[in-house]
Amino acid sequence: MTLLGLGPVWVGVLAALGVVASVLLYLRQWGRRRVVVAFSPLWKRVLAEADVGTRRRRVLELLSLVLQVAVVLLLVLALGRPLVGRKPSVQVIVIDTSASMLARRQPRGDRLSAAKQKALELMDRVSDADEVALVTSGGEPRLLSAPTRDHYSVRSRIVQLEGCACEGRLREAVNIAHALVTDPHQISVFTDGDEALDEAEEARVLSFGKAASNIGITLLGARAAPANPGRYDVLLEIRSFAATKAHAQLRVTVDGQLVQLDDVRLEPGERKIVALPTLVQERGVGLLKAELYNIEIEGAIDALAQDDVGYTLLAPEAEYPVRLYTDSPSGRYVREVLRANPRYRVVDIDRGQSQEAAGSITVLVGEAAPKLPGRYLVLGAAAADRKPLADAMFTDWRSDHPILKQVSLLDIVIKAGSAGDAPEGAQVLGRFGEVPLLYVSQRSDRTEVGITFDLSDSNLPLRVAFPVLVYNAIDWMLGSDELEAARSLGRRWHIERVGGGPVKKLSVTGPSPHVEATAQGSVIVVDGANAAGLYEIRADDETFRVAASLTSSHESDLRTVTKGNGNTSTLPRASDLWSWLVYAAFGVLVLEWFLYHRRITS
């Protein structure tokens, strides 16, 4: 038992005082007043008859004292607010609000409604002393409610939760939950299942929904044809996640103009790639919309509507300035690599101009990056304390990092040379033994990706991996989303105004009513875009158009539901007894009053 109110010492002191006061008051009633009467024999006769019940009355008086003491003890204990069942704790509720949770269930609502209902049932089991936090995992994982005892507000937030037509990031949401509590058992995850969720987490995972059939657009991309400006290649992927045959009609429009109408027939589990003929878009940025309708699945319904539509922009290829300074022979490899990418506009700079220009990436070959804010790709920086290398190679690297996406470092050899050290606090992506060879360093206003060895000492510039590595590094520093024609729903978008200063006037419009934009220096952050469609962000005199779609095979695949390992009833109920103690005290008081009444009237 835990006391939430008064401490044990105070409870003891108050109980003792209360008992003493009750006993003193009880004894006080024995101090009879003297009254002179005219004729005591009459009273004597009356009292002689009444004395028949004296012993019984004494017992009742003693019982009254016991009951009064009990009332005092109960009330004092209520002041202590005893909690039984389990100790007060922080309970974190993680609710998956991703698109798959919006899958319709027949005849009832969607999976999210069931999850919310279950979460509210869990709220019934937490005591007033428990703190509850709420985390959602649709799009950006969000801590909607920090640990609080204001359960009403948490309940309100649960009730008001809306699903998001976006990919779930349950793993990250659970990580947030872990940051709030030490014991995984204090985490309850309400989801339709996520294979990525490690069962060893020991979190209470409650899964909702049954396997459902669905077809949807899982990929939609458009790119400007490099050789023909104004022409676009569009790639569309439609997948069936049904166990039976499915049929739908596909309609593709650009700015409302129909460009393709097609019948799509899908076998169970079939993936269909639809390559549209080259589209000509001469009127600037066009919005391409692909839509599936009249969907028929044999013996089932299309459970998820959010993936039946996709948007993308037929936008001119963005051109990003990349500033290059090289004082090394290997600089020519770098220059060629940069020039080979039409998205980059390479600008040669001199020593001393390496300070970042607004919105650009600075590539330094054989030169250390300045300690100033900016984004730098440093290839073989000169350093005083370099470690000698001979026949060195990458013995360990982080292949899961975006910079090393589709990059193989297996056959990279540094015959003879030296390597500098990674900056303090940098994340080492590749190393030879204990010698860092590739690193990223991120601070709030400065990003640096670096190769510590001289490129000319290795065969890296001659490998296919080199241009991919350079592009990945630059794209990563730019922000990968910025190069996509369509952005993911639910995510936080960062849009950098190239060459722009602080934004003074900012607005955003789009299909999601909750979308909002804020300016952080020259970067515009858009948040709350939960519905597919076109969003327009107006910053001062500039307008940015962003198309957003779900297009996630992971969310569209409703065929399996991961089995959960928990139940709301597995959360031990903690009972705050103070109200019951007050009720009990009242009941004892009524009993005492009844006895007193019986005593004085009998």
* Range 316-335, binding another protein (CB under 8 A): none
Spatial neighbors of 182 by CB under 8 A, at least 6 apart, are: none
Shorter beta-carbon distance to another protein: residue 36 or 227: 36
User: Is omega for the bond preceding 388 within 30 degrees of 0, making it cis?
Assistant: no
Which of 36, 227, 258, 390 binds another protein (CB under 8 A)? It is 36
Which of 25, 43, 124, 396 binds another protein (CB under 8 A)? It is 43
CA torsion 155-160-165-169 (nearest 10°) is -20
Q: Which stretch binds another protein (CB under 8 A): 2-10, 34-42, 88-96, 127-135?
A: 34-42
Which of 228, 406, 509, 602 binds another protein (CB under 8 A)? It is 602
Residue 96 in tokens? 């998956």
Which of 29, 567, 569, 570 binds another protein (CB under 8 A)? It is 29
Residue identified by tokens 């054989």 is 366
Q: How far is the CB of 61 from another protein (least distance, A)?
A: 10
- Closest by CA to 430, choosing from 415, 444, 412, is 412
For β-strands 533-539 and 506-509, DSSP reports them as: antiparallel
CB atoms within 10 A of CB 597: 10
Q: How far is the CB of 91 from another protein (least distance, A)?
A: 55
End-to-end CA gap in the chain = 43
Which of 34, 504, 505, 563 binds another protein (CB under 8 A)? It is 34
Q: How far is the CB of 30 from another protein (least distance, A)?
A: 7
Is residue 600 a contact point for another protein (CB under 8 A)?
yes
Shorter beta-carbon distance to another protein: residue 40 or 560: 40
Is residue 227 a contact point for another protein (CB under 8 A)?
no
Per DSSP, what are the bridge partners of residue 442? 447
Is residue 384 a contact point for another protein (CB under 8 A)?
no
Residue 304 in tokens? 């998820």
Q: How far is the CB of 599 from another protein (least distance, A)?
A: 8
DSSP 490: T
Shorter beta-carbon distance to another protein: residue 44 or 339: 44
For β-strands 320-326 and 413-419, DSSP reports them as: unpaired
Q: Between 45 and 74, how does the x/- string for binding to another protein read (CB under 8 A)?
A: xxx-xx------x-----------------
Sheet containing 286-297: order of strands:
257-266, 246-254, 286-297, 309-314
Shorter beta-carbon distance to another protein: residue 55 or 505: 55
Shorter beta-carbon distance to another protein: residue 59 or 462: 59
Q: How far is the CB of 29 from another protein (least distance, A)?
A: 6
- Closest by CA to 486, choosing from 232, 230, 121, 127, is 232
Shorter beta-carbon distance to another protein: residue 44 or 265: 44
Shorter beta-carbon distance to another protein: residue 30 or 277: 30
Which of 41, 107, 256, 277 binds another protein (CB under 8 A)? It is 41
Shorter beta-carbon distance to another protein: residue 38 or 258: 38
Q: Which stretch binds another protein (CB under 8 A): 24-32, 387-395, 414-422, 445-453?
A: 24-32
Residue 386 in tokens? 């370099």
Shorter beta-carbon distance to another protein: residue 10 or 596: 596
**Distance separating alpha carbons of residues 145 and 158, to the nearest angstrom:** 10
Dihedral pair phi/psi, residue 36, rounded to 5°: -90, 130
304 near 214, Cβ under 8 Å? yes
Task: Provide the sign of the torsion angle of the four alpha carbons 52, 55, 59, 61, taken in this order.
Answer: positive
Q: How far is the CB of 52 from another protein (least distance, A)?
A: 11
Shorter beta-carbon distance to another protein: residue 39 or 563: 39
Q: How far is the CB of 20 from another protein (least distance, A)?
A: 21
505 CB burial (10 A radius; 0-12, 13-18, 19+):
exposed
Q: How far is the CB of 596 from another protein (least distance, A)?
A: 10
Spatial neighbors of 113 by CB under 8 A, at least 6 apart, are: none
Spatial neighbors of 481 by CB under 8 A, at least 6 apart, are: 487, 488, 491, 493, 494
Residue 118 in tokens? 């279950």
Which of 17, 25, 42, 273 binds another protein (CB under 8 A)? It is 42
**Distance separating alpha carbons of residues 560 and 562, to the nearest angstrom:** 6
Shorter beta-carbon distance to another protein: residue 57 or 345: 57
* Range 337-366, binding another protein (CB under 8 A): none
| Binding-site size, another protein (CB under 8 A) | 26
Q: How far is the CB of 35 from another protein (least distance, A)?
A: 5
Residue 197 in tokens? 């969720």
CB atoms within 10 A of CB 574: 20
90 near 131, Cβ under 8 Å? yes
Which of 9, 38, 227, 258 binds another protein (CB under 8 A)? It is 38
226 near 209, Cβ under 8 Å? no
DSSP 301: -
What three-state secondary structure class fits 544? strand
Which residues lie near another protein (CB under 8 A)?
29-47, 49-50, 57, 599-602
